[in-house]
Structure 1
């Protein structure tokens, strides 16, 4: 299966961007500075991306998503420092994830219906206020290791997570729209390249985020990372929201009575098996992202306990950054993988490798061996995320691409909540060695889901071939 732009991705009719590529020049005209050639001489496939979206899109998207990477770890670090309890800190990080899992699909559906720009601007303002409220709640509400006393902090964490702007998923929606535009000497590899970049951008921010949290919290104050996250949100997210690429994504038309009747008639014409297959095709990638988030969250929390055994818990952010670096580098390589290496084969291969390498987390007892383990462990992570997001785009129902992309992202955050909470309890009661069992099980579950997804994708391909 060749990963190409899903046909249901809503795309406008050749919008014009000031810093993006112009129309294709004629044979007698000199190419302009933004002209996209089929194969750039310098920079390879990734040199095409700024020509598709404009030079400002990539840095804006990178910095606008950084606060989300800081929020979960920042809540964990702040609440743990204030209460002195890994369990309460883990629950606070989990509350951020639960809020994001509930709010992200809603924001994605709203962006499908109302457009990305107003939704992102509103979320940026609301989330900035919510993060400030979380900081104040952590310091002003009497707390400690008592879970009942931490209820106000947990409530503020849920609201902060629910309102966090979904920059990464909505950026993927824009890339899917941009790479499917006609009259642009389209390259079938553009979407793979864009999604590889996006996963690398996610990894880079999830490297920078925990690292910034660790440095600022340990050297200055535990509240500073969240304050910086709020400042970045109110600055960069509105700028990303109004970037001209938002015009590339057409809003889903408001449902009329006639449209609702047609949709009902279409659903009735589908067999129960077809409806179940369509649901399963979307549910499997979402569940995979929940497992991926569980892997992330449990690894972060277990590393906090691990690093506290010989240094300080804030060192965990720097250790975790090592895995993110190797994951980001591996994600970039996916753009050059052969097209015959199909999506479901990539899922199975990367998940199997991750499950095997995760067992190495049980071995180190000092920092240097753990750094080596994390460096190797990150290699299958980035390619696996690229693959699952690509499959999610392929199976997304018409007009629901933003909803599915945000559901995948919220699956990661929800899984991070699960992993942080479970690993936090295990680390508190049994030590970090037991907490590292959670990422091992999460990686094994990813392989099982990949096996099921491969069967579903093969069935969809057979059905499509028969219909053709």
Structure 2
């Protein structure tokens, strides 16, 4: 526990992680509550899926733009903008006719509150390099907790009250999260990372093949995670054991929490692309356990153990590789990559399941994720040897940070919710997670 105690003792990190958990709960519930609302309007799942896709595409496009706004103007102007837009969207969404709701969902996604990116950018500002792996492991575990609570709470509220009231409740939670972050105002740069006018770097200087490789690997990881989500539901439904879906997914999430905890205290970090590669490979045979729910749960435990570490390692690597003056935009790109992986993994698994069978959803997404990680792995080793992939060098800013020596060693969960046309990881039946 000592590495975690030391990290949590850092000024500002403990309240940031606490706010992150509370702020992510309503974000994690958006997919399921929007699905229930559209169905309550009398539309079918396809219509609900279009609304979810509009929000997903909007958030993927908007995250880097909002991150760039943070880099240029600071955190509070961005929070004011996104909180105001969130209040307008969620305050009117329950009364909008479907065609208007579809367009509003894209705008709402474009300017949605980027809780995941803000928290990860602030961690990079608050935590020295030597302790950043533990901090991102804690962050990844907090994402897991949010996705365990958010969708389940939304379903319970919708069934006990109504989908419309639940929509207002989730929107109110998101607005409250924005206001809380405004009051907390976590730093986005360390005190010795303040930018100067001469520090406005063109993208070609920091958006390198190495960074693109990391982002691609992160997308591959959430692709596999989203595919697992969909495939679990399909396999258990096909076996007539759909009532056990919540148990299987809860065990998977618990194993992810344990894996994230262990990853933070390893003596040496594991490169994020290696984690993605292994995650994909061990997911391929999971479908062999499709006969019984308990066997499927056992087969899922290894992939669960790598879920939180994969997301944590990717965020850690990206935060170390870019200069502080563009960290907001880079973390926005990281968030977009996670969303894109989820958006691709869920329909891919669904298409394979429809064409072949439920068990093949694991094999298809696992194989594709592993192949993508393997394809971009040379972008890391071409710059340096394998250690550089785990410990990227920070591009110096105008006032170089004093970097302590590193330790001898860092959907659901990507922080992003799944599009609403895919099964949610609520106990009764997303992903971001994830995202």
1:429 CA drift (Å): 7.0
Structure-2 change in CA distance of 1:277 and 1:403 (3 Å): closer
Structure 1 CA distance for aligned equivalents of residues 37 and 360 of structure 2: 24
List aligned pairs for 1:149-164, cutoff 5 A. 152-164=100-112
Give the corresponding residue for 1:167: 115
Q: Which among 202, 205, 227 is matched to residue 298 of structure 1?
A: 227
RMSD (CA atoms): 3.7
Give the corresponding residue for 1:400: 326
1:52 CA drift (Å): 1.7
Q: Which among 68, 75, 82 is matched to residue 34 of structure 2?
A: 75
- The alignment status of 1:53 with 2:1, answered yes or no, reads no
1:197 CA drift (Å): 0.8
Structure 2 CA distance for aligned equivalents of residues 297 and 132 of structure 1: 29
Give the corresponding residue for 1:110: 69
Structure 2 CA distance for aligned equivalents of residues 315 and 243 of structure 1: 40
Instruction: Select between 197-206 and 155-164 the one with higher mean Cα deviation.
Output: 155-164
Give yes or no for contact 1:61–1:167 (8 Å, CA) kept in 2: yes
Give the corresponding residue for 2:403: none
- The alignment status of 1:322 with 2:281, answered yes or no, reads no
- Residue 172 of structure 2 aligns to a residue whose secondary structure is helix
Give yes or no for contact 1:105–1:406 (8 Å, CA) kept in 2: yes
Give yes or no for contact 1:351–1:447 (8 Å, CA) kept in 2: yes
Structure 2 CA distance for aligned equivalents of residues 76 and 432 of structure 1: 23
Give CA deviations for 1:202-222 in whole Å, capped at 9, x if unaligned.
Answer: 222222223334444455544
Give the corresponding residue for 2:425: none
- The alignment status of 1:444 with 2:370, answered yes or no, reads yes
1:194 CA drift (Å): 0.8
Give CA deviations for 1:120-156 in whole Å, capped at 9, x if unaligned.
Answer: 232123123323444444xx43xxxxxxxxx544433
Give the corresponding residue for 1:230: 171
Give the corresponding residue for 1:128: 87
Structure-2 change in CA distance of 1:164 and 1:443 (3 Å): same
1:319 CA drift (Å): 4.5
Structure-2 change in CA distance of 1:70 and 1:314 (3 Å): farther
How many residue pairs get matched?
388
Structure 1 CA distance for aligned equivalents of residues 86 and 20 of structure 2: 17
Structure 1 CA distance for aligned equivalents of residues 110 and 228 of structure 2: 23
Structure 2 CA distance for aligned equivalents of residues 50 and 419 of structure 1: 34
Structure-2 change in CA distance of 1:383 and 1:50 (3 Å): closer
1:105 CA drift (Å): 0.9
Structure-2 change in CA distance of 1:356 and 1:375 (3 Å): closer
1:400 CA drift (Å): 0.9
Structure-2 change in CA distance of 1:370 and 1:190 (3 Å): same
Structure 2 CA distance for aligned equivalents of residues 56 and 451 of structure 1: 36
Give the corresponding residue for 1:189: 130
Give CA deviations for 1:29-50 in whole Å, capped at 9, x if unaligned.
Answer: xxxxxxxxxxxxxx52222344
- The alignment status of 1:44 with 2:44, answered yes or no, reads no
Instruction: Select between 416-425 and 218-227 the one with higher mean Cα deviation.
Output: 218-227
Instruction: Select between 445-454 and 93-102 the one with higher mean Cα deviation.
Output: 445-454
- Residue 112 of structure 2 aligns to a residue whose secondary structure is coil
Give yes or no for contact 1:134–1:153 (8 Å, CA) kept in 2: yes
Give yes or no for contact 1:218–1:314 (8 Å, CA) kept in 2: no
TM-score by length of 2: 0.75
Instruction: Select between 240-249 and 425-434 the one with higher mean Cα deviation.
Output: 425-434
List aligned pairs for 1:302-381, cutoff 5 A. 302-306=231-235, 319-339=248-268, 341=269, 343-344=270-271, 347-349=273-275, 351-361=277-287, 363-381=289-307
Give the corresponding residue for 1:243: 184
Give yes or no for contact 1:91–1:154 (8 Å, CA) kept in 2: yes
Structure 2 CA distance for aligned equivalents of residues 125 and 313 of structure 1: 40
Structure 1 CA distance for aligned equivalents of residues 42 and 299 of structure 2: 31
Give yes or no for contact 2:280–2:367 (8 Å, CA) kept in 1: no
Give yes or no for contact 1:77–1:314 (8 Å, CA) kept in 2: no
Give CA deviations for 1:331-380 in whole Å, capped at 9, x if unaligned.
Answer: 122221113x4x43x63155224422343046415543333333432111
Give yes or no for contact 1:90–1:420 (8 Å, CA) kept in 2: no
Structure-2 change in CA distance of 1:422 and 1:132 (3 Å): farther
Give yes or no for contact 2:278–2:370 (8 Å, CA) kept in 1: yes
Give CA deviations for 1:166-197 in whole Å, capped at 9, x if unaligned.
Answer: 222222222222224xxxxxxx6321111111
Structure 2 CA distance for aligned equivalents of residues 436 and 304 of structure 1: 11
Instruction: Select between 328-337 and 215-224 the one with higher mean Cα deviation.
Output: 215-224
Task: For structure 2, list consecutive stretches of 5 or more residues without a partner in the other structure.
Answer: 394-435
Give the corresponding residue for 2:340: 414
Structure-2 change in CA distance of 1:337 and 1:450 (3 Å): farther
1:101 CA drift (Å): 0.5
- Residue 53 of structure 1 aligns to a residue whose secondary structure is coil
